[in-house]
Amino acid sequence: MRRLALGLGALVLGLTLAGCGTGSSTPSNSGQSGQTQPVTLHVGADTTFPPFETEKNGQVTGFDIDLIKAIAQKENMQVDLKTMDFQGLIPALQTGDIDVAVAGITITDDRKKSVNFSDPYYHSGLSILVKKDNTTINVPDDLTGKTVAVKLGTTADLMFSKKPGVNVKRFTNISDAYSELQNGGADAVVFDNPVNLNYIRTGHDNVKIVGPLLTGEDYGIAVRKNAPDLLQKINDGLKQVMADGTYDKLYQQYFGDEPNGKIKH
């Protein structure tokens, strides 16, 4: 199982062996001079979740990406980013291929069985997106008998898997779900509200959000199990970026004056 990458030298070997024997999750990294060297934090991300994660011209950017880099810097860690599909993130944490995952991951009791979560960093919820000329869907109950596009493995997918009377179409990439709506193959897309809002704001003014939010959800940074020291570092770093204004600056950059998602601190 991959652990946080360590520096070179005999001291590292000793720490690694000690970690294997004791379950230590975040051994320190020290150079020969005694100075602490940055530890590599292996981060998994789904880049089809704008404005939290997106990839353009080979560059991965977004609120989550900038936030985890800021947290890592506070805790003397260096981010090694790995991109993958959303449904692959938790399995990658379980096998140790990554240490943490960021992808607007909703904190749920079911997911807590497989991974640990940081303190919340964003408040979200599911919203209903329809074509602007749609007059038949106004509230959640109107989805009965309709075709709804969702992203595979998300809370929207889980919700509608249990809802009778709704035809559910699942997509690996949310952009494909939006295309299905635009092409008439779905009556609505149900997905995280900030991403639906971002879709409207980025040149898609022929769609609208209707009704109240279906859920209230908090996003957390997913951390591999049996790594309490790492979880503590992530939470400590998050507290620091909230305290020094970094969080507010990033929030303003990606969400403007939208108040609903910001975690009070």
User: What's residue 14's pLDDT?
Assistant: 37
pLDDT at residue 69 in the model:
98
Tokens of 2: 């991959």
Mean pLDDT by 10-residue block, N- to C-terminus, for the chain (265 residues)?
40 35 41 65 96 93 98 98 96 98 96 98 97 97 97 95 94 96 98 96 96 96 97 98 98 90 90
Domains of the chain: 10-120+219-255 (3.40.190.10), 126-215 (3.40.190.10)
Q: 168: closest CA among 178, 179, 158?
A: 158
Name 36's Cβ contacts closer than 8 Å, sequence gap at least 6.
28, 29, 30, 76
Q: What stretch of H or E contains 148?
A: strand 147-151
User: What's the confidence (pLDDT) of residue 35?
Assistant: 52
Side chain identity at residue 60, one-letter code: V
φ and ψ of 24, to 5 deg: -60, 135
Tell me the C-alpha to C-alpha distance, in Å, between residue 177 and each of 86, 181, 263: 14, 6, 28
CA dist list (Å): 54 to 65, 106, 119, 171, 196? 9, 18, 23, 17, 14
Please name the residue that has the structure tokens 């005694």.
Answer: 34
Distance CA 113, CA 175 (A): 29
Residue 31: the pLDDT is 44
Q: Evaluate whether 182 touches 56 at the Cβ level (below 8 Å).
A: no
Could you tell me if residue 153 is left (phi over 0), alpha (psi between -120 and 50 degrees) or otherwise beta? left
DSSP secondary structure of 34-78: SPBPPEEEEEEE-SEETTTEEEETTEEESHHHHHHHHHHHHTTEE
At 240, list the tokens. 């620091």
pTM: 0.81
